[in-house]
Amino acid sequence: MRRTGGRVMADSAPVRLAVLVSGNGTNLQVVIDRIEAGEINARMVCVVSNRQDAFALKRAEQHGIPTIIHEIGAYANRQAYDTALVEILRNQDVQLVLLAGFMRILTDVMVNAFPHAIMNIHPALLPAFPGLHAQQQALEYGVRFTGCTVHFVDIGTDTGPIILQAVVPVEADDTEETLAARIQQEEHRVYPEAVRLFCAGKISMNGRRVRILS
Ligand code: GRF
């Protein structure tokens, strides 16, 4: 990948992708499926989990993708953890990092190592309802519409430049679970689409505004 001005250009070589997980990994799965279908020009070089019991690891193994367990236990603090994580990713020449249910907040060490090259999916229409329990926050606030947001990761919590969003109506009888399930259906559509656009060199930055090139 190379940059020309503010524009990220894709070479024909697949983008080297790493995915960070902690849990079920349904978003990981849809990205794997789209790569295997030839729709995303990427090679998933590793899946990194901070938890040994993450089901996402099994999904990766089933597709022959190398997995790495990177637990906090051995590290004195979050910076030290992230320093080791950067080394893991640099050793693999990773060009794009996806957070897919990764339940750790990144420090400046990771964010500065991969500027505009770490994406996250958040289950709300940011900047509304950042942080944990976004679906419950939406229900308690009483919004009629919520949704999900794919964004680049910056040093704040869910504050980075927005790439794609999808809207989900809130139904009168929704619970946190039913709303989360409908939001996830949209996550599984927009997250791989954002990855596809990045890997096709179709994302350009103008300040914090993301432009999708045709
Ligand atoms: C997603 O619902 C996403 O909104 C949040 O974490 C969840 C991960 O789900 N960031 P999965 O592990 O991809 O199934």
129-146 residue pLDDT tens: 999 999 999 999 999 999
- Residue 151 catalytic? no
Residue nearest to atom 6 of ligand 1 (CA): 101
At 3, the pLDDT band (50, 70, 90 cuts) reads very low
Check residue 171 and report its DSSP letter.
Answer: P
DSSP-based three-state secondary structure for 94: coil
> Beta partners for 148?
166
Gap between the Cα atoms of 182 and 169, Å rounded: 9
Collapse the DSSP code of 117 into the 3-class scheme (helix H, G, I; strand E, B; otherwise coil) and give the result: coil
Per-residue pLDDT for 200 more than 80? Answer: yes
CA angle, 129 as apex, 128 and 131 as ends, to 5°? 135
Binding pocket residue ranges, ligand 1, CB within 6 Å: 23-28, 56, 100-101, 121-123, 184, 187
> CA-CA distance, 50 to 131, in Å (whole number)?
19
Q: Are 56 and 62 in contact (CB under 8 A)?
A: no
Strand order across the beta sheet in which 15-21 lies: 67-69, 42-49, 15-21, 96-100, 118-122, 145-152, 162-169
**Which of 5, 8, 4 minimizes the C-alpha distance to 204?**
8
Please state the rounded mean pLDDT for residues 53-80.
97
What CA dihedral angle connects 152, 144, 24 and 127, to 10 degrees?
Answer: 20
- What number does the ligand 1 atom closest to the CA of 148 have? 4
**pLDDT of the residue at 1:** 46
